[in-house]
Homo-oligomer: A and B are copies of this chain.
Amino acid sequence: MTIGILGGTGDFGQGLAERLRRLGEGVLVGSRSAREGIIANAEAAARSEVVFLSVPPGGVEATARDLADELAGKIVVSVASPVVFRKGRPTVDAGPRSLAELAQEAAPEARIVAGFHTVAARALFRDDPLDEDVLLSGDDADAKAVVAALAERLVTGRAVDTGRLETARWLETLTALLLNINRNYRSETGVRITGL
């Protein structure tokens, strides 16, 4: 399976690419402008079966719209959260709908799955196993199952289905909560769901 990472030059994208390569997956890293070792987002999208939309929150909707043709029929993982920093503190700047829902509207034929919002970019860069779950939301059950199988190879925990794509709203804001915890404890936290 070829996995494309759009916006793959960011911290999260780089860490994810490295982890996926270690699993033996073929990874194509895309960016807005192609350069050595990095192809254009459009090419990465066109050549991949699963595409991580790992661009900054302000670019999610526009990237999905610009690449709607390339993303049509593809499994597209929306990992961004609408987090901004005010006086050094992580907070949320969002409308009522999630970035994942906006991406789905902008690329209607993409099979959007939202997830990985609780996985710290810095934790991806480490070498140790990721002791956490991955939370996934989406309206396409088959697409969600493919991403779940991949997620469960990346973490020691499990892939937890949070339900329809709408639930991405509270997945995305959960990132702000974890970033505040990270700030208090100087750590890179994740989440496990207990009681399943």
Contact B169 A92 (CB under 8 A): yes
- Proximity string of chain A (112-147) to chain B, C-beta cutoff 8 Å, 1 when within and 0 when not: 000000001001000000011001000000000000
Are A195 and B190 touching (Cβ within 8 A)? yes
- CB–CB B177/A167 < 8 A: yes
**Contact between B195 and A189, CB atoms less than 8 A apart:** yes
**A174 interface neighbour in B161, B174, B183, Cβ under 8 Å:** B174
Interface mask (A170-196 → B, CB under 8 Å = 1, otherwise 0): 110110111011011101111111111
Residues of B within 8 A of A176 (CB): 167, 170
Distance in Å: Cβ of A13 to nearest Cβ of chain B: 20
Taking a contact as CB atoms under 8 Å apart, the answer to whether B161 and A169 are in contact is no
The answer, yes or no, to whether A58 is at the interface (CB within 8 Å) is no
| A153 contacts partner chain B, Cβ-Cβ < 8 Å | no
Once bound together, how far apart are the Cα atoms of A180 and B173, in whole Å? 15
Q: Are B181 and A177 in contact, CB atoms less than 8 angstroms apart?
A: no
Q: A131-B195, A195-B123, A195-B132 are in contact. Are A162 and B190 (CB under 8 A)?
A: no
Name A183's closest neighbour in chain B (CB-CB): B163
Q: Which residues of B contact A177 (CB under 8 A)?
A: 135, 162, 167, 170-171, 174
A47 within 8 A of B: no
- Interface centre among A169, A170, A189, A196, by most chain B C-beta atoms within 10 angstroms, is A170
A166-B91, A170-B174, A177-B170 known; A194-B184 Cβ under 8 A? no
Interface flags for A94-113 (1: CB within 8 Å of B; 0: not) read 00000000000000000000
Q: Which residues of A contact B (CB under 8 A)?
A: 89, 91-92, 120, 123, 131-132, 135, 157, 160-164, 166-167, 169-171, 173-174, 176-178, 180-181, 183-185, 187-196
Top 4 nearest A-B pairs (CB, nearest first) are A163-B180, A170-B177, A189-B195, A170-B173
